[in-house]
Amino acid sequence: MFKKLSLTLICILGTIGLFAQTHSQEFGIQTDNDSYLAQGSDRYYTNGIFFYYRKALKISDTGSKLQNKVLGIELGQKMFNAQTGDVPGASFVDRPFAAYSYIGTTLNLLYKNESTLKLSAQVGVVGPAAGGEPVQKLIHNTFGFYTLNGWQYQIRNDVELNLSTEYNKLLARASWVDVSLASYVNLGTGFTGAGVGPLIRLGNFNQLFNSISTQSTASLTEQTGLLHKHEIFFYYKPQANLVAYDATIQGGLFSTHDPNSMEITGTKKPFVFSQQFGAAISFNRFTFDVAAIFHTREVKSMIQSHQWAAITGVYRFK
| Euclidean distance between CA atoms 265 and 250, whole angstroms | 5
Q: How many domains does the chain have?
A: 1
Confirm whether 36 is domain-assigned.
no
In a domain, 21, yes or no: no
Q: Which of 117, 200, 150, 118 is nearest to 46 (CA)?
A: 150
- The reply to whether 29 falls in a domain is no
Q: What is the CATH number of the domain that holds 190?
A: 2.40.128.140
Quote the CA–CA distance of 280 and 287 in Å, as a whole number. 8
Say if 224 falls within a structural domain. yes
What's the pLDDT score for residue 18? 38
- Predicted pLDDT of residue 3: 46
Local mean pLDDT, 10-residue blocks, the chain (318 residues): 42 39 90 92 94 94 86 98 95 97 98 97 97 95 92 96 98 97 98 98 97 95 89 98 97 81 95 98 95 97 96 95
Per-residue b/e over 288-311, b at no fewer than 16 CB within 10 Å?
bbebebebebbbeebeeebbbbbe
Instruction: Name which of 265, 269, 281 is nearest 242 in CA terms.
Output: 269
Is 206 a domain residue?
A: yes
pTM of the model: 0.90
Rounded CA separation 97/45 (Å) = 10
Interacting residues of 115 by C-beta distance below 8 A, sequence separation 6+: 167, 168, 169, 170, 208
Please give the residue range of the domain that contains residue 303: 42-317
**Does residue 76 sit within a domain?**
yes
Residue 34 lies in a domain: no
Position 254 scores a pLDDT of 81
